[in-house]
Structure 1
Amino acid sequence: MCGRYANSASTANLYGLFGVDEVVDDDLEPSWNIAPTDPVRAVLQRPPREAADDAAAVRQLRTLRWGLVPSWSKDAKGGARMINARRETVVEKPAFRKAAAARRCLLPADGYYEWRTTDEGKVPYFLHAPDDAMLAFAGLYELWRDPEKADDDPARWLWTCTVITQQATDTLGEIHDRCPVLVPSELRDAWLDCTAGDAAVASELLAAMPVPQLEPRIVSTAVNSVRNDGPELVAPAAAPAAEPVQLEMRF
C-alpha cells in the first residue's frame, strides 16, 4: 500500500525532469506529508487546452486529487478508498480498467512512508532512491462530471488519480507487503502514451517494470499526523532500541 508520500519538487523542476510541454493549474506548495484526497502533481498526456479533442497530445503537468473517482460514480465520496490500484487486477476491475487503457499518468515523489509493526509500536520509515533521485509512481487518472454543477462551471470536472501498487519482494519482510510500482525513465514515454487505448498495453508495460531498489530510513513519528508537514519529516530519526538503524531492503 502507498498511503502517504512526499513531493518537494517545484513546477520548474518537474517541468525539466519529465519533459513537460504545458503546465495546467496553479503551483502546489511542496509537501512532505501528502495524504489521501490531497491535491497532487501528475504528469500525463492530453490534447492542449483549448484545442480540438483530436489534436495531438502534449505532455502536461496537472494538479489532481489523490483518490480515484470512476466516471460512472454517483458521487465523489468513494475516492478516498481508491488511492491505490493493485497491479494484479488493475486491468480487470471496472473502477480502473478504462483508465489503464486510456488515462495513465506519472506521480512524482521524493519517496513514500510505511509503518513497521514492532513490540514497541509502529515505526515509520521513509523509502527513497539511494541517490535521492525523484521517483515516478505508475498512476491512473480519471475525470468525473459533477451533475450538480452547471455546464459553464469550470469546477464541473473533478480530476482524480490512483497509485498502482504491487507485491513487495522485500527479502526481510520487515516493513510492508505492498509497494508502489515505479516507472524508470526509459519506460516513462511508453507509460504515458495511451494512443492505443488498450488495457493490454498497460499489462505489458507493468510486466516490463524492473524490480525497484529503495533505501528505507526510520523517521520521526511526527509523520503519523497529517497536520504535520515540512522537510524534517523525512530526516533520519533515532531508532528504537529493538530496531536496527541500518536496514537493507530490496523491493
Structure 2
Amino acid sequence: MCGRFVVANVGSELVGVLRVDLEADDLPAPSFNVSPTDPVAIVLDSIKTEPPTRRLESARWGLVPAWAKDLSIGARAINARAEEVEDKPMFRKALEKRRAVVPASGYYEWKKVGDAKVPHYIHPADDSPLFMAGLYEWWKNPVLADDDPARWVLSFTILTRDAIGHLGSIHDRMPLFLDPDFADAWLDPTTDNVGDILDAAIDAAPDVAETLADHVVAKAVGNVRNNGPELIEPVEP
C-alpha cells in the first residue's frame, strides 16, 4: 500500500517532463509527510477541450465518487488494487475516463521486524520525480450553493500492485509506478483499450521499482503533525 509520501517540489519543478499545459493557482506547498485527506498536486488530461488539456491540479487524497453522500468515504479509498479496479463499482468509471499521474519525490513504507514496524523512505536513486498511477473523481457537495467555489471537490486514489524485488522485502504491496514515457498513454481519456493500458502499466511497474533506493528513517514520520526535510534523512536501523 501507500499511506504516506513526500512531495518536496511543486509545479514545473516536479512535472516538467509531463508537459503540463496549465497549473492551478492553489497548488499545495511542498510536504515531507503527505497523509490521507491532504491536498496533493496531481496531473490529469481534461476532456473539456479538444485536444484534452493537461492540467496540474490540487486534489484531496482519498477518492470520493460522485454518488457519495459525504467526503468521509475518501479516507478509506487512498489506495486501490490495480488488479481489482475494473471490477469495483467505486473505481470502474474513473478507470475508464479519469486516470491521473500522482508525482512525488518518494514514499514511506513500514517493514515489520519482530513486533516493531520500521519506517523506510523509498525514492528514485537519482532524485528524479517518481510518478504513481492514480484515478480521480469530482464530487459535488450538496449542502453548498452553486456559486460556492468549494462546492466541487477533486479527489484521487493511488493504484497499487504486488511488490517485487527489494521492495517486496519491505511490504507486500507497492504503488503502481509509471515510466514518464508511458504517462501520455495512461492519461489519455479518449482511449478505448482501458484494460490493455492497465495491464501494460502493471507489467511495466517493476522496471521502475528496480531503480528505486530505500533507507530507514526516524519513527517521527509516523506522526502526521511532523513535517520537514529531516523526516527523509537516513538513520541507523
TM-score for both structures, normalised by structure 1: 0.88
SS in 1 for 2:89: coil
Does residue 124 (structure 1) correspond to residue 119 (structure 2)? The answer is yes
Gaps of 5+ in 2: none
Q: 1: CA distance between counterparts of 2:100 and 2:167?
A: 31
Does residue 16 (structure 1) correspond to residue 11 (structure 2)? The answer is no
Does residue 64 (structure 1) correspond to residue 59 (structure 2)? The answer is yes
Residue 202 of structure 1, CA deviation? 3.7
CA contact (8 A) 2:82 2:202 kept: no
Letter paired with 2:214: P
CA contact (8 A) 1:14 1:20 kept: no
Q: 1: CA distance between counterparts of 2:231 and 2:87?
A: 37
CA contact (8 A) 2:7 2:106 kept: yes
CA contact (8 A) 2:62 2:74 kept: yes
Q: 2: CA distance between counterparts of 1:168 and 1:185?
A: 20
Q: 2: CA distance between counterparts of 1:152 and 1:108?
A: 31
Change (3 A) 1:191 1:228: same
Q: 2: CA distance between counterparts of 1:40 and 1:114?
A: 19
Higher share of residues assigned helix = 2
Q: 2: CA distance between counterparts of 1:94 and 1:120?
A: 37
**Bigger Cα Rg:** 1
Could you tell me which residue of structure 1 aligns to residue 3 of structure 2? 3
Change (3 A) 1:111 1:153: same
Could you tell me which residue of structure 1 aligns to residue 30 of structure 2? 30
Could you tell me which residue of structure 2 aligns to residue 136 of structure 1? 131
SS in 2 for 1:195: coil
Residue 81 of structure 1, CA deviation? 0.4
Change (3 A) 1:152 1:97: same
Deviates further, 185-194 or 145-154 = 145-154
Could you tell me which residue of structure 2 aligns to residue 166 of structure 1? 161
Residue 94 of structure 1, CA deviation? 0.5
Q: 1: CA distance between counterparts of 2:192 and 2:14?
A: 26
Q: 2: CA distance between counterparts of 1:207 and 1:219?
A: 28
Letter paired with 1:238: E
Residue 175 of structure 1, CA deviation? 1.3
Alignment of 1:106-121 (within 5 A): 106-119=101-114, 121=116
Could you tell me which residue of structure 1 aligns to residue 225 of structure 2? 227
Equivalent residue for 1:147, pick from 139, 142, 150: 142
Q: 1: CA distance between counterparts of 2:14 and 2:167?
A: 34
Q: 2: CA distance between counterparts of 1:171 and 1:76?
A: 36
TM-score for both structures, normalised by structure 2: 0.93
Deviates further, 193-202 or 82-91 = 193-202
CA contact (8 A) 1:113 1:126 kept: yes
Q: Deviations over 1:95-139 (max 9, x none)?
A: 100101100010111111111122362111001112121100000
Gaps of 5+ in 1: 48-52, 240-251
Deviates further, 34-43 or 13-22 = 13-22
Q: 2: CA distance between counterparts of 1:132 and 1:196?
A: 32
How many residues of Structure 1 are paired with residues of Structure 2 in the alignment? Answer: 234
Letter paired with 1:222: A
Moved over 3 A (4+): 170-173
Residue 201 of structure 1, CA deviation? 4.3
Q: 2: CA distance between counterparts of 1:174 and 1:70?
A: 33
Change (3 A) 1:75 1:116: same
SS in 2 for 1:179: strand
